[in-house]
């Protein structure tokens, strides 16, 4: 590192510690919630513009409460690799088409070029490269999705599962000693305008 702080780094670092690449495409940023300390690499796309067009309960609009327009909610210490795409799932609901929010927990890694259209992804989830997570899939905590997996729409993946294949099937169980490997604190430090080297 020759210069202490580049005048214009590759990443925008927010007050809550998010590191968002300038070359990432975030559409509808007002509908994207980041929990903090999340890394968004270049060429990532997040479709915050695909908001719910039908509110869940019809009475809430009458009560005057502001509609909840969150399209994509991401927790802390998530890592979205280059080329990943987060897209809220959509479906017909009471005769009309609407998007539903995509929620992601903490310590979720999304690999190179993977497309996520899940309804929810828990915490401590590792999604490999070139993975497709279909619409309204639900991935619980401590799940490992191997490279190239296609998770069909509506699939539920319970905790401590390793899945792979097209379509995804359960190929193993995350062992008791494998929980810590999902932590992304160290990885977070290795990226940004002043990255630390990866721990040896």
Partner 1 sequence: MAPLPFSPYTFIQCPCSDSTLLARPADAKSPTGADAEEDERTFDPRAPRSNYSLYPLEYLLYCEDCHQIRCPRCVSEEIATYYCPSCLFEVPSSNLKSEGNRCTRSCFQCPICIGPLSVTTQETRHPDANLLSADNAATPHSGGFSLTCSYCHWSSTEIGVDFDKPNGIHAQLAKIRNGGESRLTAKERKERRKELSHRGDSAAAAAAREEIEEQVPDLENQFANLKSFYNSQLADPTAADNGLSTLGDLGFSSPSSLSRIMNLYTGGKISDNKAKSRLGAIREALTPEEGLLVANLDEAALISQLHQSEHCDTASMAQITSQPPNLGEPALHGASRFTSSLRPIPHLLRTKRSKRCPVCRHIISKPEPKVQTTRFRIRLVAGSYIPSISIKPLTLPGPSGSSSSNPSDLLISLKPVHYLLTFKNPIFETIKVTLATPAATPGRFPSKVTVLCPQFDIDANTDVWDEALKDNDRSDKSSRNSGGTTRQRRGTEAGYQLEVGKIWERGRNWVSIVVEVVPASLRLEDGGMLREDEDILEIPMFVRIEWEAENAGDDGGIVPGAGGKDKDQKEKRELAYWCVLGLGKIKQN
Angle subtended at Cα 16 by Cα 81 and Cα 121, rounded to the nearest 5 degrees: 45
Other residues' Cβ atoms within 10 Å of the Cβ of residue 73: 16
Say how many residues touch partner 1, by CB under 8 A: 36
Question: What is the three-class DSSP state of 11?
Answer: strand
Q: Is 95 in the site for partner 1 (CB under 8 A)?
A: yes
Of the candidates 66, 33, 65, 63, which has an alpha carbon nearest to the alpha carbon of residue 48?
Answer: 33
Q: For residues 32 and 132, which CB has a smaller minimum distance to partner 1 in the complex?
A: 132
Q: Is 152 in the site for partner 1 (CB under 8 A)?
A: yes
Residue 45 CA to residue 47 CA, distance in Å, equals 6
Q: Is 167 in the site for partner 1 (CB under 8 A)?
A: yes
Q: Which range touches partner 1 (CB under 8 A), out of 34-42, 74-82, 99-107, 133-141?
A: 133-141
Q: Is 141 in the site for partner 1 (CB under 8 A)?
A: yes
Q: Which range touches partner 1 (CB under 8 A), out of 47-55, 63-71, 101-109, 171-179?
A: 171-179
* Sequence-separated contacts (24+) of 13-16 with Cβ below 8 Å: 13/192, 13/193
Out of 92, 121, 139, 144, the only residue in the binding site for partner 1 (CB under 8 A) is 92
Q: Is 180 in the site for partner 1 (CB under 8 A)?
A: yes
Residue 16 CA to residue 66 CA, distance in Å, equals 25
Out of 53, 171, 178, 183, the only residue in the binding site for partner 1 (CB under 8 A) is 178
Other residues' Cβ atoms within 10 Å of the Cβ of residue 185: 10
Q: For residues 70 and 159, which CB has a smaller minimum distance to partner 1 in the complex?
A: 159
Residue 42 CA to residue 173 CA, distance in Å, equals 32
Chain positions contacting partner 1, by CB under 8 A? 1, 4, 92, 94-95, 134, 140-142, 150, 152-161, 167, 169-170, 175-181, 189, 194, 196-197, 199-200
């Amino acid at each position: 590192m020759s210069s202490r702080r580049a005048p214009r780094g590759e990443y925008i670092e927010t007050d809550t510690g998010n590191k968002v690449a300038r070359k990432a495409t975030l559409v509808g940023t007002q509908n994207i919630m980041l929990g903090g300390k999340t890394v968004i690499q270049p060429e990532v796309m997040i479709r915050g513009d695909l908001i719910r067009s039908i509110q869940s309960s019809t009475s809430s609009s009458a009560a005057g409460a502001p509609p909840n327009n969150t399209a994509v909610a991401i927790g802390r210490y998530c890592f979205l690799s280059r080329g990943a795409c987060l897209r809220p799932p959509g479906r017909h609901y009471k005769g009309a088409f609407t998007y539903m929010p995509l929620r992601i927990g903490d310590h979720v890694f999304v690999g190179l070029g993977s497309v996520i259209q899940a309804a929810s992804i828990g915490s401590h989830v590792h999604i490999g490269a070139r993975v497709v997570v279909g619409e309204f899939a639900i991935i619980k905590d401590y799940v490992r999705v191997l490279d190239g997996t296609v998770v069909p729409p509506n699939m539920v993946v319970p905790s401590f599962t390793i899945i792979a294949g097209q379509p995804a099937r359960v190929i193993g169980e995350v062992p008791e000693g494998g929980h810590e490997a999902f932590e992304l604190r160290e990885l977070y430090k290795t990226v940004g305008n002043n990255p630390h080297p990866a721990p040896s």
